């Protein structure tokens, strides 16, 4: 044992809550390591050229999201906001009115975007060389209105971000997530277009093997070129999709006109930051242990819903009627499955059976045939493959999921004395065996049929 370890243990033993101190130190060290990786510190060994990691780097190089630039700017901006906060109204009612005005303008902006897309789609059908003069004028007017709204929303965003972050911290403080008088990690997010996500799964089984962040807003032809280039390997399935947020620091949240969606996403991504403070695999084994990934994401969904409901009830009572009902345990009830959800459940179960029997090509043909049926019914589904299910399967609280982890974690939350106790228990999970032991302790079966 060296002097550094002796000193560390002395500090830990001298405080009331050594576990929390250990997590604070762990979070700080890991954040520095993460920044080191982002700025180019990595292993010196060179993998063989045919390795998946090499091919991923080659195919995605022109489209990679610039995390170095993002973190450099966002961290400095967050520090500046902490030292010199934006001039938000002091009155709670004025803050609420500002947020609601932001949401109303965002709804208008989204409607203008839909109108622009519809009009652009009609142009080639109405005029061989493009839009007619009347359509061009209408397009220009719509685009001008949208541009003005975008400028206004960009100016308003720092104020709304600050208000929603403080309101979220108020709820977290009430729930006991406080260290040295402050919520830790502090709630920090930005309204941005998050990276587009490239998901990689093996073809032989559904498993989220890699998550690669790409530039936001990639068009469909680009997405399909990336997927085709990788799928030619023959052993993987790929899927490029949009995401609603990302647990960086500050976290990323998309612009949206629903207060419920925004507050759930803000709390969801903060939960990932919170779990990041634990010296366990629940966060740092995210890509290595798929079952822990599912627990991590599903926990963030549950916490996000609970924090969002409490925030809206306290600060935005006019929105309460729009919230989902509570279940018998007093927790937000899961949304009933739609026709689309039920179809995905059915497809997933059969695909799992086919893959378990080694029938990969048959499974892929079946998924494509079912995708076409769903598209014919009006559902927008560009791709349905192993990677699609690997990505969406991580969210076991979704009505489309067949994973028992969602219902299990809801029961574990209901049996926990507090939200903090529940989240801390999740944070100390270091393996799936730890999770099974928790289920056994709570009298729950890991088998959903028992």
Q: Is residue 371 left, alpha or beta, with left meaning phi > 0 and alpha meaning psi from -120 to 50?
A: alpha
pTM of the model: 0.82
pLDDT exceeds 90 at position 290: no
| Average pLDDT of the residues in 178-195 | 92
3-state secondary structure 161-207: HHHHHHHHHHHHHHCCCEECCEECCCCCEEECCCCEEEEEEECCCCC
Question: Would you place residue 394 in the very low, low, confident or very high pLDDT band (cuts 50, 70, 90)?
Answer: confident
Highest mean pLDDT among 8-12, 107-111, 117-121, 446-450: 107-111
For the chain, the average pLDDT equals 84
The model's pLDDT over 51-77, given as tens digits with 9 standing for 90+, comes to 888 999 999 999 999 988 998 899 999
pLDDT exceeds 70 at position 2: no
Contact 257, 80 (CB under 8 A): no
DSSP state, residue 210: E
The domain ranges of the chain are 1-40, 92-175
- C-alpha span between 228 and 219 (Å, rounded): 14
Question: Would you place residue 41 in the very low, low, confident or very high pLDDT band (cuts 50, 70, 90)?
Answer: very low
The model's pLDDT over 331-390, given as tens digits with 9 standing for 90+, comes to 777 788 899 999 999 999 999 999 999 999 999 999 999 999 999 998 888 999 999 999
* Half-sphere exposure of residue 342: CA atoms within 13 angstroms, side-chain side: 4
The model's pLDDT over 21-40, given as tens digits with 9 standing for 90+, comes to 555 555 554 555 444 444 33
């Amino acid at each position: 044992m060296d002097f550094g370890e002796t000193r560390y243990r002395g500090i830990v033993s001298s405080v009331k809550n050594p576990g929390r101190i250990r997590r604070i130190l762990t979070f700080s060290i890991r954040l520095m390591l993460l920044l080191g990786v982002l700025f180019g510190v990595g292993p010196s060994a060179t993998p063989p050229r045919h390795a998946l990691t090499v091919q991923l780097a080659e195919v995605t190089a022109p489209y990679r999201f610039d995390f170095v630039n993002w973190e450099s700017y966002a961290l400095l901006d967050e520090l500046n906001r902490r030292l010199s906060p934006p001039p938000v109204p002091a009155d709670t009612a004025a803050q609420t009115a500002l947020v609601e005005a932001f949401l109303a303008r965002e709804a208008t902006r989204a409607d203008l975007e839909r109108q622009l897309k519809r009009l652009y789609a009609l142009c080639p059908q109405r005029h061989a060389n493009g839009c007619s003069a009347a359509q061009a004028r209408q397009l220009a007017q719509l685009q001008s209105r949208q541009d003005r709204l975008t400028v206004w929303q960009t100016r308003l965003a720092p104020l709304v971000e600050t208000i929603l972050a403080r309101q979220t911290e108020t709820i977290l403080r009430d729930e006991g997530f406080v260290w040295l008088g402050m919520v830790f990690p502090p709630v920090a997010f930005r309204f941005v277009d998050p990276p587009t996500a490239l998901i990689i799964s093996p073809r032989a089984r559904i498993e989220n093997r890699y998550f690669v962040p790409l530039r936001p807003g990639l068009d469909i032809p680009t997405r399909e070129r990336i997927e085709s280039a990788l799928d030619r390997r023959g052993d993987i399935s790929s899927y490029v999709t949009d995401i609603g947020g990302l647990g960086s620091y500050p976290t990323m949240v998309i612009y949206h006109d629903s207060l419920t969606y925004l507050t759930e996403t803000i709390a969801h991504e903060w939960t990932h930051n919170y779990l990041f403070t634990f010296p366990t695999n629940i966060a740092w084994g995210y890509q290595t242990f798929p079952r822990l990934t599912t627990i991590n994401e599903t926990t963030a969904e549950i916490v996000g819903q609970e924090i969002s409901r409490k925030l809206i009830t306290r600060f935005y009572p006019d929105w309460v009627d729009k919230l989902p009902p509570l279940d018998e345990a007093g927790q937000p009830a899961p949304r009933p499955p739609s026709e689309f959800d039920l179809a995905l459940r059915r497809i997933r179960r059969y695909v799992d059976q086919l893959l378990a029997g080694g029938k990969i090509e048959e499974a892929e043909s079946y998924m494509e045939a079912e995708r076409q049926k769903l598209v014919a019914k009006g559902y927008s589904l560009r791709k349905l493959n192993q990677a699609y299910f690997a990505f969406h399967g991580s969210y076991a609280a979704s009505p489309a999921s067949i994973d028992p982890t969602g219902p299990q974690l809801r029961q574990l939350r209901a049996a926990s004395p507090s939200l903090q106790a529940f989240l801390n228990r999740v944070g100390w999970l270091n393996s799936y065996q730890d999770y099974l032991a928790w289920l056994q302790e709570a009298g729950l079966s890991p088998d959903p049929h028992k």
